[in-house]
């Protein structure tokens, strides 16, 4: 997902739908995807090294109003 699409998705989820946070679970080994989510403001919240695909959970929290 590109940066413009990510921004549009976050604007929709946070603004129009009133979500407070969004989570994604990219494959840890997909370094480009993880970096893209980080650039969009997502932060790693958990990692399961024993998972076969290297499960990683990342979260974006909207600022409090």
> In this predicted structure, what is the pLDDT of residue 51?
60
- How is the chain split among helix, strand and coil, in percent rounded to 5? 35, 25, 40
For tokens 């290297």, what's the residue? 54
Q: Which residues lie closer than 8 Å to 33 by C-beta, 6 or more apart?
A: 26, 27
Q: Answer whether 6's CB lies under 8 Å from 42's CB.
A: no
> In this predicted structure, what is the pLDDT of residue 46?
77
User: Tens digits of per-residue pLDDT, 15-51?
Assistant: 989 999 999 999 888 999 999 999 999 999 876 666 6
Number of neighbouring beta carbons within 10 Å of residue 53: 12
Query: Does residue 53 surpass a pLDDT of 60?
Result: no
């Amino acid at each position: 997902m590109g940066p413009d699409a990510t921004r549009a998705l976050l604007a929709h989820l946070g603004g129009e739908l009133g979500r407070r946070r969004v989570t994604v679970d990219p494959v840890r080994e997909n370094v480009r995807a993880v970096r893209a989510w980080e650039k969009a403001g997502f932060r790693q919240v958990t990692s399961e090294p024993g998972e076969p695909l290297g499960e990683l959970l990342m979260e974006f929290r909207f600022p409090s109003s």
